[in-house]
Chain A
Amino acid sequence: MSDTIVTLPDQSTARIPKMNYLTKENGLLSWLLTGDHKRIAILYLISISFFFFVGGSLAGLIRLELLTPQSDLMATDTYNKVFSMHGIIMVFFFLVPSVPATIGNFIIPMMIGAKDLALPKVNLLSWYLYVAAGILALYTMASGGVDTGWTFTTPLSTHYVNTHVLTTGMAVFIAGFSSIFTGLNFIVTIHKMRAPGMTWFRLPLFVWAHYAASILMVLGTPVLAIAIVLMALERTVGIGVFDPTKGGDPLLFQHLFWFYSHPAVYIMILPGMGVISEVISTFSRKRVFGYTAVAFSSVAIAVFGFFVWAHHMFIMGISNYAVLIFSLLTMLVAVPSAIKIFNWAFTLYKGSITFETPMLYAFGFMGLFTIGGMTGVFLGASGTDIHLTETYFIVAHFHFVMVGGMLMAFLSGIHFWWPKMTGRMYPEKISQLAAVVTFIGFNLTFFPQFILGTLGMPRRYASYPPEFQILNVFSTAGASVLGVGYLLPVLYLTWSLKYGEIAGNNPWQATGLEWQVQSPPLTENFPEIPIVDHEAYDYEWLERQKEKEVASVG
């Protein structure tokens, strides 16, 4: 591997540092009661991976059912429960906490030169809330599930289904608080815990992205909470706020729900965008093109993200004037994302590029997110939304942004920071293969769904007219490839925990502060709090650091 920047220490002599956050204390309790952000991140990593595979297995069931036009694998009722649980688990138990609670939790304090998040106990609490919510969700699933879709649309969810709406609602409610506490913790940490010299414009873009996402978590999630509380009251006591026969307006629920859930899609994508900034810069050895534009576009997405929620309700009966306003604002919120994509592309310009696994995933992200984002604009233009809404076009749109975008970014980030988290490298060749397999599998799965949607195949259908079968067969075939692509990392990353090569402090020669300390890091991250005198992505500074080291050693 001559063209790679991986600089591993001499493997025959290298050893994992004896003292690190993993070895500091032992025993299950030392993990369950830890305040260390890195250990909590690992706890999160394990739990969200578990939920990803639960959600993924449900996706497998969906795709199997859709292999044939009839609902022959399972009854329509079961199918409805399967996709509802798939959506709920994937959104609230996987994607929302995915990058922030794992990578963000692990890396942000290190990036800004802090010993921990500002509120370690709250951090642990938010993991426990997550687990409690997850157990509740699993319990719900085991005891019969819920069939409202992940959107809990009233009056269906309040008056017309008799599945476990309340327990699921409670699970989502609790998971919401977990997310609020994570976001709150990040904001406080980023404001108050930065090392001396770490000014706002020296922060890595990963931190900016998380800052923006955290704002959304703190200000958006409570509205979801109140929406769920009202739904629960409507269902149990029949108070009438969402019941048209009592004078309530079922659309009010959607206003409240989407006031959270649209910003939530940016909660889901912004941290991923942060990962992409780091990865693209590191592997092209170049500072991010237009740092300020990328930083501010994150904030712009967060702010504008609060103004567009009703684009999910274009045909649901909001006023035509509101449609105009929300459609216009949707167009505005799409612009910062485009800025980011082009800034990343130009970061490559005159770089010195290598193609390690994280970079491959990042490339995948850029292509797929562009497709996903542009199709979002199709839906944001009110006219085309009429034809495309509630069809597989939407399903394809959001899987492109969520799976092709965020999941790719998550995998990119996991591979990128794996050496830091564990001190060991993963096997490069097979991981590159996995990246390529996921990319191919992904396109095979979800691209046909755009065509299906244009043809008019409605979403949430257990059975469909036979002429849609061919494309569905492609999609199902793709999902199997995709499943393999996701299974591979689990295998080789686990393998690498024991057999991976020793990574050393900074295998990628990256500039972030987290890379300047040992891997895996000490519990308090830095032996001494660093003083920052350089901007983010300053590769010249990194060179000088190295020379100095060599000088002092020699």
Chain B
Amino acid sequence: MAHDIPHEQHFHDPANVTNPEHAEHHIVLPLEYSFVFGTLLLCTALTVFAATRDLGVFNPIVALAIACFKGVIVILFFMHVKYQSNLIKMTVGAGFFTFLVLITMTLSDYISRAWGLW
């Protein structure tokens, strides 16, 4: 049984506190930031350009895909999530998941109402 480990004298060791959810502090370098910054500006230009073309149903899809991409790189690099513990990654994931639950489940009602408006 787990608690059969001999009971030791209580001691005070800060290292005990380091739990698996801790990630070492990673310093993102300016070069990396600059790359991301460049990509973001590029994407902005791209999405504005795409908006001037008539892509049919793809207009909103392209625009949102680009927005998602931009959002993801901001989260990963500017917000350091790429170098963070799994806990933070899951937290971010949980947030967007609940957000999607709100949207999709609400829309499931609106879309399936008998016709058009209602």
Do chains A and B directly touch (beta carbons under 8 Å) in the complex?
yes
A259: nearest chain-B partner, CB-CB: B102
Q: Give the total of B residues in contact with A, Cβ under 8 Å.
A: 28
Residues in A whose Cβ lies below 8 Å from that of B87: 191
Asked if residues B109 and A255 are in contact (CB atoms below 8 Å), the reply is yes
Q: Mark B21-57, 1 if CB is under 8 A from A, else 0.
A: 1000000000000000000000000000000000000
Asked if residues B94 and A219 are in contact (CB atoms below 8 Å), the reply is yes
Q: Mark B67-108, 1 if CB is under 8 A from A, else 0.
A: 000000000000000000001000000110010011001101
Residues in B whose Cβ lies below 8 Å from that of A320: 112
Residues in A whose Cβ lies below 8 Å from that of B3: 533-535, 538, 540-541
Residues in B whose Cβ lies below 8 Å from that of A531: 8, 10-11, 16
For the A-B complex, the count of residue pairs with Cβ-Cβ distances under 8 Å equals 65
Asked if residues A528 and B109 are in contact (CB atoms below 8 Å), the reply is no
Is A530 interfacial (CB 8 A cutoff)? yes
Q: Give complex CA distance A540, B21 in Å.
A: 31
Asked if residues A196 and B106 are in contact (CB atoms below 8 Å), the reply is no
Residues in A whose Cβ lies below 8 Å from that of B112: 319-322
A329: nearest chain-B partner, CB-CB: B105
Residues in A whose Cβ lies below 8 Å from that of B114: 319
Given A307-B105, A318-B109, residue A533 in contact with residue B2 (CB < 8 A): yes
Is A387 interfacial (CB 8 A cutoff)? no
Q: Mark A240-275, 1 if CB is under 8 A from B, else 0.
A: 000000000001100100010000000000000000
Is A197 interfacial (CB 8 A cutoff)? yes
B18: nearest chain-A partner, CB-CB: A196
Q: State how many angstroms separate the Cβ of B56 from the closest Cβ of chain A.
A: 26
Is A529 interfacial (CB 8 A cutoff)? yes
Identify A307's interface contact among B7, B8, B21, B101, CB under 8 A. B101
Is A33 interfacial (CB 8 A cutoff)? no
Asked if residues A535 and B21 are in contact (CB atoms below 8 Å), the reply is no
Asked if residues A535 and B105 are in contact (CB atoms below 8 Å), the reply is no
Q: Give complex CA distance A251, B109 in Å.
A: 10
Q: Give complex CA distance A89, B94 in Å.
A: 31
Asked if residues B5 and A533 are in contact (CB atoms below 8 Å), the reply is yes
Is A430 interfacial (CB 8 A cutoff)? no
B102: nearest chain-A partner, CB-CB: A259
Q: Give complex CA distance A307, B97 in Å.
A: 12
Q: Which residues in window 186-243 of A have CB below 8 A to B?
A: 191-192, 194-197, 215, 219, 223
Q: Give complex CA distance A193, B77 in Å.
A: 27
Q: Give complex CA distance A541, B7 in Å.
A: 10
Is A175 interfacial (CB 8 A cutoff)? no
Q: State how many angstroms separate the Cβ of A214 from the closest Cβ of chain B.
A: 12
Residues in B whose Cβ lies below 8 Å from that of A197: 16
A252: nearest chain-B partner, CB-CB: B106
Given contacts A528-B12, A540-B3, 16 further A-B contacts (CB under 8 A): A195-B16, A196-B13, A219-B94, A259-B106, A309-B105, A310-B109, A319-B113, A320-B112, A325-B105, A529-B12, A530-B10, A533-B5, A534-B2, A534-B3, A538-B3, A541-B3
15 contacts between A and B (CB under 8 A): A191-B21, A191-B87, A197-B16, A215-B94, A251-B109, A259-B106, A307-B105, A317-B118, A318-B109, A321-B108, A322-B112, A325-B105, A528-B12, A541-B3, A544-B7
Which 6 pairs from chain A and chain B are nearest by CB? A196-B16, A534-B3, A322-B109, A321-B112, A319-B112, A319-B113
